[in-house]
Amino acid sequence: MAKAGDSDDKKGAAPAGNPLREGMPADRTAPPCALVLFGASGDLTKRKLVPAAYNLALSRLLSQNSAVIGVARRPLPFVDQMKEAVAKHSRRKPIDQDVWSDLARRTSYVQGEFHDPETYKKLAAELERVDKEHGTNGSRLFYLAVGPDQMPTIVHGLVEAGLVKAPDRTSGAAFQHVVVEKPFGTDLPSARALNRELLSQLDESQIYRIDHYLGKETVQNVIVLRFGNTIFEPLWNRQHVDRVEITVAEDLGVEGRGKFYEGTGITRDIVQNHALQVLTMIGMEPPIAWDANSVRDEKVKVLRALRPIRGEDILTQTVRGQYAAGSIRGDKVPGYREEPDVAKDSETETFVAMRLAIDNFRWGGVPFVLRSGKRLRRRLAEVVLHFKPLPHRLFDAAGGGAATPNQLVLRIQPDEGISLRFGAKVPGGGVAIRDVAMDFLFGAAFGSSSPEAYERLLLDAMRGDATLFTRDDEVEAQWAFIDPILEGWKNLKAPLASYEAGSWGPKEADALLPEGDRWREP
């Protein structure tokens, strides 16, 4: 059964010339399609993808002509597992039985090896069945929740079985989109090779490289804050900003993923994707339109303007570290080398700090300092614009005290919000100044139940909106910046600083800041 008149919050697009469509909101609902989850038995499917599909259904954003098909190697009671996953991980509880039953009725499972052509024959038959039974009309969203080594095999299998066709850009035509999970490669050559593989089978418009950070409301709000207001953008440049500080911190360790982490490290896991995405949002010029290519063009320009860190600069512009045992929230936690599946002499970094420069007119001379780590004091992602100090301390002579330069803090997680710090006069005689903050909390203004990033991104991929996905040149530009640093650490035998779990990282990172400045300890 199709869904009528579901209105979300966008106005506008309507079939041209129909006067009855005037004023009606554009339909934010996903068009009918089959969501095919490769890696159906995996953690991501359980924790994020299936709850996201359920929440879209609950919000009536998933077409009632949609279907969900899991694909994995093992025999699996997929529908039962889905229900368990929704009950455990959905942001909205308890399960709405009507919505769940309806979704379960449209859910099925295909077992098979990803390299086996028989798997794709079975999948084709299942897709044909759901086309007929549920009206998915040949439209599919293939979600590859698998490692990068398996992606070319799956895409090849899909194309060989005729399950992905050349894109038809006619309005309302069937679509086949492929969502590719991170990590997208492990370095520039592997990312390029993966891009080449995918683009030999698919059109770029069919590939949706996901970075779930971009699905976060607060990351998107960086763009709205900058380009949806008039007061911030005039200050958003080297004339007024002294430095930009980006923190992506986790209080967790490797959580049983020691083997994975040994081959990855925080730079590949967080900085190459999430942290650089945040940096591009902060640094980009205004796009000419809010569409996929206009936005991504501007982000790529920032990545290309990042001054490469090479040679001996790697030793002065970056710091890598590894956590030692310590305490977090009152609990004693082991050091990284004491974690399971981690080598006793591991050189893998669990902390990285960098001093970056964006060589363009807007940001010339403004340091961007970035840090990311595991087992830091608290889970936190934030961007802070430190504004320039006063040119003349007018109130010092009158006992005004030392008001610190203004700061604009964009908190991405948790406690999402924006805070502007400024000096205010302390009531009473004289002109004593004290720092105060104007705080905006998303939860206070809009309630606490924002959609999960994966809900937004699944919906966008179904609707064919790639604005919040990474383009091929973007992911390659990210790796092109990161690769020489990783290479340099190895070649130069860069020191691996130790930091106590529960701290804000090694003290060596302080050297990356301008003299007299300190990292924030929020």
Partner 1 sequence: MEGAVSAPRDAATGKPSDTVAAIERELASIWSVPDPSTGATKVRASTLNYVVATPPSELDTLREMTDNIAETHAGRVLLVWVDGRLEPWALWHEVSGVCRPSAGTSVCNDRVEIGFGAVAAERAASVVRSLVVPEVPVIAEVVAGAPSLLVYAVVEVADRVVVDSRRMRLGPIAELISRARGPLADRAWVRSFSWRELVARFFDEAPDLGHAIERVTIMRAKPRPGGADPSHLFLGWLASRLGWSELGRGGARRADGRAIAVSIEEAASAEPGDLVAISIEAGKGEQSVRCEVARKPDGDTSTRGSVHWSRSGGAGGPGGAGRASAHDMALGHHDETWVLVKAIEATEGDAVYKEAALTGAKWETWWEQT
**Under rule CB under 8 A, residue 218 binds partner 1:** no
CB of 434 to partner 1, least distance (A): 17
Segment interacting with partner 1, rule: CB under 8 A, options 82-90, 152-160, 359-367, 414-422: 414-422
Q: Are 162 and 128 in contact (CB under 8 A)?
A: no
Q: In terms of Cα–Cα distance, which of 3, 5, 24 is closest to 15?
A: 24
For position 217 contacting partner 1 by CB under 8 A, the verdict is: no
Work out how close the CB of 468 gets to partner 1 at its nearest, in angstroms, rounded to a whole number: 22
Q: What is the C-alpha to C-alpha distance for residues 323 and 266, in angstroms, rounded to an integer?
A: 12
In the complex with partner 1, the residue whose CB is nearer, 15 or 516, is 15
Identify which range of 12-20, 70-78, 151-159, 425-433 contacts partner 1 by CB under 8 A: 12-20
| Binder of partner 1 out of 263, 330, 427, 447 (CB under 8 A) | 447
**Residues assigned a catalytic role:** 274
Instruction: Tell me which of 88, 118, 446, 495 binds partner 1, using CB under 8 A.
Output: 446
136 belongs to the binding site for partner 1 (CB under 8 A):
no
Of 22 and 312, which has the nearer Cβ to partner 1? 22
Q: Quote the least distance from Cβ 413 to partner 1, whole Å.
A: 11
Q: Which is nearer to partner 1, 20 or 166 (CB)?
A: 20
Nearer to partner 1, 319 or 409 (CB): 409
Residue 441 as a binder of partner 1 (CB under 8 A): the answer is yes
Q: Give the separation between CA 243 and CA 369, rounded to whole angstroms.
A: 7
d(CA 435, CA 422): 5
Q: Is 138 in the site for partner 1 (CB under 8 A)?
A: no
Could you tell me which residues come within 8 angstroms of residue 252 by beta carbon, excluding any fewer than 6 positions away?
A: 374, 375, 379
Among 414, 430, 495, 514, binds partner 1 (CB under 8 A): 414
Q: In Å, how far from its chain's centre is CA 382?
A: 13
Total residues contacting partner 1 by CB under 8 A comes to 35
Which one-letter DSSP state was computed for residue 468?
Answer: T
Nearest distance from residue 113's CB to partner 1, in Å?
38
Distance (Å, whole) CA 231 – CA 229: 6
Compare residues 197 and 439 and give the one whose CB is closer to partner 1. 439
304 near partner 1, rule: CB under 8 A:
no
Side chain identity, residue 341 = D
With CA atoms as reference, report the closest residue to 249 among 383, 149, 139.
Answer: 383
Specify the residue, 8 or 255, whose C-beta has the smaller distance to partner 1: 8
What's the closest the beta carbon of residue 310 comes to partner 1, in angstroms? 42
Question: Omega before 183 cis (within 30°)?
Answer: yes
Angle, CA 73 vertex, CA 69 and CA 77 arms, to 5°? 55
Enter the tokens of residue 51.
Answer: 């709850």
Structure tokens at 361: 């007119």
* Cα–Cα distance, 260 to 145 (Å, whole number): 16
Chosen residue from 15, 263, 330, 427 binding partner 1 by CB under 8 A: 15
Find the binder of partner 1 among 2, 125, 289, 492 (CB under 8 A).
Answer: 2
Stretch of 20-28, 274-282, 325-333, 497-505 contacting partner 1, by CB under 8 A:
20-28
Q: According to CB under 8 A, which one of 252, 288, 343, 444 is a site residue for partner 1?
A: 444
Alpha carbons 91 and 88: distance in angstroms, whole number: 9
The mark string for 25-64 relative to partner 1 (x by CB under 8 A, - otherwise) is x----------------------------------x---x
Region of 143-151, 298-306, 444-452, 512-520 interacting with partner 1 (CB under 8 A): 444-452
> What number of other Cβ atoms are within 10 A of residue 142's Cβ?
26
| 427 belongs to the binding site for partner 1 (CB under 8 A) | no
Strands, E assignment, 203-285: 207-209, 241-249
b/e per residue, 404-433, with b = 16+ CB within 10 A? ebbbbbbbbeeebbbbbbbbeeeeeeeebb
Closest Cα to residue 290, out of 57, 18, 26? 26
Do residues 470 and 215 make contact, with C-beta atoms less than 8 angstroms apart?
A: no
Give me the least distance between CB of 53 and partner 1, in Å please.
17
6 binds partner 1 (CB under 8 A): yes
DSSP, collapsed to helix, strand or coil, labels residue 294 as helix
> Under the rule (CB under 8 A), what is the footprint of partner 1?
1-9, 11, 15-25, 60, 64, 414-415, 417, 439, 441, 443-449
